[in-house]
Amino acid sequence: MSDTYHFIVGLRAIRDYRPDPLSNEDLGAILEAGRWTGSSKNRQDWSFIAVTEPEKIRELAEHGNFTQPVRDSAATIVLVEEPGGNTFDIGRAAQNMMLAARALGVASCPITFHRERDVAAQFGVPSGATARYGIALGYPTPGARPRNFGGRKKAPKVVKLNSY
C-alpha cells in the first residue's frame, strides 16, 4: 500500500490544540484545498467562512451542542452550502480540508452546528444558504491523540458486495 493510502485512512479528529494562531500560509492552503474539491456538475455551491477572531470563535461555539473543539481552536471554518448545493459536496470539501490540514501539521475536528440559523445570523449568511457544519483547526498539543471510542466496525458490518 502507498504512503498516501495510509495517510488517508490514518486521518482522525484531534481536539487538543495549542493556543498559537494558525499561520496565514497554513490557513490559506487549507482553504485552497477546499476550493479545489470536486463537486456535482462542478457547481461549487459552497462558501467557506474562516473564523479567526477569538470573540467570534467563542460566539460560534454557542451554536452547537458539542463544540468545545471550536472554543479551543485557533480557527474554525464554517462550511456554507449555497442554494442548490448539497451536503455530499460539503462533506467532500470538509474531508479535503481536513486532509490538507493534516499534511501541514494542523489538527482538525469536524463540527455540527445544531443552531444553524444562529450561525447564519452571526455571519450574515444569505437566505437559502445553510451553515450547519464546520471544521475546528489548531496546531496539536504535544501528545494530542484522537478520542478512542472503539475504533472501526468490522468490514462485514459496513461493506456489502452486490446487495445488502
Look at residue 151 in the predicted model and tell me its pLDDT.
Answer: 78
Look at residue 149 in the predicted model and tell me its pLDDT.
Answer: 67
pLDDT tens for each residue of 19-52: 999 999 999 999 999 999 999 999 999 999 999 9
Look at residue 147 in the predicted model and tell me its pLDDT.
Answer: 81
Exposed e or buried b per residue across 104-126, where buried means at least 16 C-beta atoms within 10 angstroms of its C-beta: bebbbbbbebeebebbbebbebe
Q: Which amino acid would we find at residue 79? A: L
Joined grid coordinates for residue 112: 455540527
Cα distance between residue 25 and residue 129, in whole Å = 28
Number of continuous H segments (helices) and E segments (strands) in the chain: 7, 4
Look at residue 152 in the predicted model and tell me its pLDDT.
Answer: 85
Look at residue 55 in the predicted model and tell me its pLDDT.
Answer: 98
DSSP state of 124: T
| CB-based contact 71:58 (threshold 8 Å) | yes
Which residue ranges of the chain lie beneath pLDDT 70? 149-150
* Residue 86 backbone dihedrals phi, psi, to 5 degrees: -145, 155
Rg of the chain, C-alpha, whole Å: 16
DSSP state of 46: E
Exposed e or buried b per residue across 33-58, where buried means at least 16 C-beta atoms within 10 angstroms of its C-beta: bbeebebeeeebbbbbbbbbeeeebe
Write down how long the chain is.
164
